[in-house]
Structure 1
Amino acid sequence: MIYLLLSIVASTCIFIIFKLFDKYKINTLQAIVVNYFIACLFGLWMYDKPIAIGDIIGSKWIYGAIGLGFLFIAIFNVMALTAQRKGLSVASVASKMSVIIPVIFGIYIYNEGVGVQKVIGILLALVSVYLSSVKSKTINNPTKGLWLPILLFFGSGIIDTSIKYIETTYLPENSIPIFSASIFAFAFIIGASILIVKAIRQPYKFPAKSVIGGIILGMVNYFSIYYLLKALNHESLESSTLFTVNNVAIVMVSTLLGLLFFKEKISKINWMGIILAIISIVIVTLA
């Protein structure tokens, strides 16, 4: 349970860091690329065995790591576009409601337990995620740019599901650090290539604050994935329960931190969502 708690804390910090990026006018793409480089270094540092490039290339999970690298850089950018064009509320709802994808995957593929109590908890969790995130502007022009939140929804769900599948099927014991480092390495290579192409087309500055922001984000981002994998590796928690508790808790904590530290306005509907989130966590955990 401690790994799940640490994953929630680290993932919540990512939202806070992105909010600070906007406040201090830090180039998000530049910081994201630096973040993946730093996260990769952390993964290599945490790996306590000799690093053999040949073994990594010949591993069964290498293609999964490459695919996740593409998804990581793509979905981060889709999330940014969704927030810019449709608003933060829509981005939050789309990314966190995607919990239903790995939950269904865990139930049907791994035959994880599913009873009335768990179904009720999952449904309450989905409702709570929406209610705690929704703002009045999310109902304006609901069909305009709808492809962005849809893509974010499926992209986030596929990432969580893929991580669980690879961890269960292909990942040897004690290989979480090197697997995580490989994902971040491929994401960095892809992101750096994008920046190089942009620089060739139109030279631009790479300020120090983008590097500093990326370093901080990279440390937090690595441990959010590392502790999520560690939690998934724990036999006492089914993935359907873990993903539900993880995603709902992140929305709940992020909402409260936004209220306390960023003076965001919380409506009655948002408070209803927070209460439902707490109830759903209790129901699913005890199921």
Structure 2
Amino acid sequence: MYMMLMFLSVLLSSLRNIFSKGISDISFGTKEFFLLQSVTFLCAGLCLLGVSENAFDAISLVTVGYGVIYGIMLIGAQYCYTCAMRGGNMGMCSTIYSMGFILPTLSGFLFWREKLKIANLLGIVLVIPIIIISGLSPETNKNQKYSDSKFIFPAVLAMISSGGLGIMQKVQQNSIWFYQKEIFLIFAFLLASFVSFVLFLTAKPSSQRISPKKYFYGVIIGVAFGFSNLLNTICAGKLKSAVFFPLLNVSTILFSVISGVVIYKEKITYRDILVFLLGALAIVMISR
């Protein structure tokens, strides 16, 4: 059952990635960027509010605290990654960011005494070259030049924040307040939306304007983002970290390649074939 929920989360994450391409031209730091981020986070929170069965019950301060920490990490992952992309190579930034899965993967073994099989460990190690190969594509390196190393710091912060999200999902689901998972995420998304709106009010205006279509994309991204986070939180509490987080990461990479071929008519390269083969092998080893 939980593997099916993870598969559904991968589909939602892929949907989010597809629509994110439609708003990737909006410049970071502008009023338009922060407003659209605020709308996206708000929609994520509202969709979870709509499905929550205990939204108006007594809420633990622990849940609120977890939500605040999660919200800060959401902002850190989103904004630091976008900031890094402004000054760094796209493939390098993507690779560093994706390595965040290592943190929650090891957390189960270090903090929750989850058993780690040799096959699982080899599969986890195999995910690393998959990320590197998929991120550092020839097309990316050919069209972009490396700038100075200033982008590395925000990229690493984004990686740590991204990994921290998985750890917080695990923490929340292993607490006595695990049933308040929707509230935990609602607080996080509403905080992220509020901070984004404050930044919108203080940011300098630009000549860029957001079309209604991009707002629609923002709504779709928010809904997919909200539900995928909910599913990930549920799975983080039920599946071993050494299984769930690597599988989630490599499956999302594979679906991104598929969506690029099917939707954007991208050509299948030898790199894509290698990623698929290594990805299939990693999935088999991690699932053992």
Output the TM-score relative to the length of structure 2: 0.86
Identity of aligned residues (%): 18
Within-5 A mapping of 1:120-135: 120-135=122-137
Aligned residues: 278
- Partner-residue secondary structure (3-state), 2:174: helix
The Cα of 1:269 is off from its aligned counterpart by: 3.3
Pairing 1:158-237 to 2, within 5 Å after superposition: 158-173=164-179, 175-198=180-203, 201-202=204-205, 207-234=211-238, 237=239
CA RMSD in angstroms, aligned pairs only: 2.5
User: Does structure 2 conserve the Cα–Cα contact (< 8 Å) formed by 1:106 and 1:112?
Assistant: yes
How far does residue 277 in structure 1 lie from its aligned partner after superposition? 1.1
Q: Give distance in 1, aligned partners of 2:25 and 2:264.
A: 11
Distance in 1, Cα, partners of 2:271 & 2:210:
41
Match of 1:150 among 143, 156, 160: 156
Distance 2:200 2:244 in 1: 36
Structure 2: gaps (5+ residues): none
1:284 counterpart SS class: helix
User: Using a 3 Å threshold, how does the CA distance of structure 1 residues 153 and 194 change in structure 2: closer, same or farther?
Assistant: same
Q: Which residue of 2 aligns with 1:77?
A: 79
Contact 1:4 1:228 in 2 (8 A): yes
Whether the 8 Å CA contact 2:172–2:178 is kept in 1: the answer is no
Deviations 1:176-219, CA, capped at 9 Å, x for gaps? 22221111111111111111112xx5487665344322211111
Structure 1 residues 60 and 22, CA, compared in 2 at 3 Å: closer, same or farther? closer
Could you list the per-position Cα deviations for residues 12-32 of structure 1 after superposition, in whole angstroms to 9, with x for gaps in the alignment? 112111112136999543222
d(CA) in 1 for partners of 2:22, 2:210: 18
Which residue of 14, 37, 47 maps to 1:42?
A: 47
8 A Cα contact 1:90 1:138, kept in partner = no
Would the aligned equivalents of 1:35 and 1:214 in 2 still touch at CA under 8 Å? yes
TM-score calculated relative to the size of structure 1: 0.87
AA of the residue aligned to 1:186: L
1:123-146: CA deviation from partner (whole Å, max 9, x where unpaired): 111111211221235595486222
Query: Quick one: structure 1 residues 50 and 95, their matched pair in 2 at CA, closer, same or farther if it must change by over 3 Å?
Result: closer
